Amino acid sequence: MKSISVVIPSYNEQDNVVLLATKVLEQLEGKYDYELIFVDDGSSDATLENLKKLNQQNNRIHYLSFSRNFGHQKALRCGLAYAKGDAVISMDADMQHPPYMIPELIEKWEEGYDIVYTQRLDTKEVGIFKRTTSSFFYKLTSRLADIEMEEGTADFRLLDRKVANIINRTGESNLFIRGFIVWMGFKKYKIPYKPEERHSGVTKYTFRKMFLFALNGITSFSVKPLYISIVLGLIISLCSFIYALYAIYNYFFKSGVVDGWTSLLVSVLFIGGLQLIILGIIGEYLGKLFMQTKNRPDYIVSESSLKEV
Ligand code: UDP
Ligand code: MG
């Protein structure tokens, strides 16, 4: 019998984990050798207690608990590192990724696809804010990051063992998994789905988390943003040159013109702002290098019912 691991990052999902586990088990019980791995991302509610109860009832339901909140992507990566299955499915804990799709994911994998991923169809269940920010994110990353990211393809997918191994062996800290999946290649199959409404609780992806996620995505995959400084530099130089010609013309052919204070101020402020943006971009890359050289772990597991493979 083939074995399937299901990895579920959970952050303050006390009222969702039990229901999700039940629904996932309905799809797998008797058909596959399975394990469920909940990664408790430093929840402050009863998520961990509920997971421990689940583990007592069924020893194939496992939990890994972080020492603090490290973020969804780290939780996902941790789950992948511990998963032993021939295929690993990752999904959210809040029931937005419908468990009834699991057999379909597995079916396509059995047909020979290495990565079976899903694409969220934007329906009214997804809030307008989420829809617009997410669409903007995919467009911007695809443009700036040199990888073709399809809109609505989040972290609900199945990975073959060999794909999971590659991710596990990658030494890159703060790995942007969504982009890495595209970058790796392999035989892929896409299944569209209608997301459900969040079963309970509120979204854990705050605007801040989404912004950092997007920034990491873009700067992880390309150095294109660094070119922005060159292009802007060229444009500004050209403008300054034209302005200089205009000033010289005024100096010679018009008498008593002492304009300039406004334009001086405006250009100083403008160039100052521009320099800050560019410094920020450079700083982001430098920061990445800094974090990588420190070689810190991406996450810290404080308690677990599993051993790392
Ligand atoms: N999550 C996590 N750590 C975080 C934020 C989110 O493990 O810091 C989990 C969360 O519990 C859920 C999944 O990541 O299982 C997706 O988060 P959420 O549903 O809040 O995001 P949304 O669906 O609103 O994008
Ligand atoms: Mg959600």
Q: Delineate the domains of the chain, giving CATH numbers in brackets.
A: 3-222+296-304 (3.90.550.10)
Please work out whether the CB of residue 11 comes within 6 Å of at least one atom of ligand 1: yes
C-beta separation of 198 from 123 below 8 A: no
Q: Is 181 helix (H, G, I), strand (E, B) or coil?
A: helix
Low-confidence residues in the chain, pLDDT < 50: none
Residue 309 token pair: 């493979």
Calpha distance 182→175 (Å, rounded): 13
Going from the Cα of 266 to the center of ligand 1, the distance in angstroms, rounded, reads: 43
Calpha distance 81→152 (Å, rounded): 25
Residue 218 token pair: 């873009």
Residues, Cβ < 5 Å to ion ligand 2: 92, 94, 96
Q: Is 265 helix (H, G, I), strand (E, B) or coil?
A: helix
The angle formed by the CA atoms of residues 168, 205 and 108, to the nearest 5 degrees, is: 50
Q: What is the pLDDT of residue 285?
A: 84
Q: What is the pLDDT of residue 194?
A: 85
Atom of ligand 1 nearest to the CA of 70: 8
Pairing of strands 157-160, 115-120: antiparallel
**How far are the Cα atoms of 1, 178, 305 from residue 4, in angstroms, in the given order?**
10, 21, 18
Find, among 172, 173, 176, the residue nearest to 212 by Cα: 176
Please work out whether the CB of residue 78 comes within 6 Å of at least one atom of ligand 1: no
Please work out whether the CB of residue 40 comes within 6 Å of at least one atom of ligand 1: no
Going from the Cα of 203 to the center of ligand 1, the distance in angstroms, rounded, reads: 6
Please work out whether the CB of residue 155 comes within 6 Å of at least one atom of ligand 1: no
Going from the Cα of 142 to the center of ligand 2, the distance in angstroms, rounded, reads: 23
**How far are the Cα atoms of 17, 41, 209, 212, 229 from residue 206, in angstroms, in the given order?**
20, 15, 5, 10, 30
pTM here is 0.78
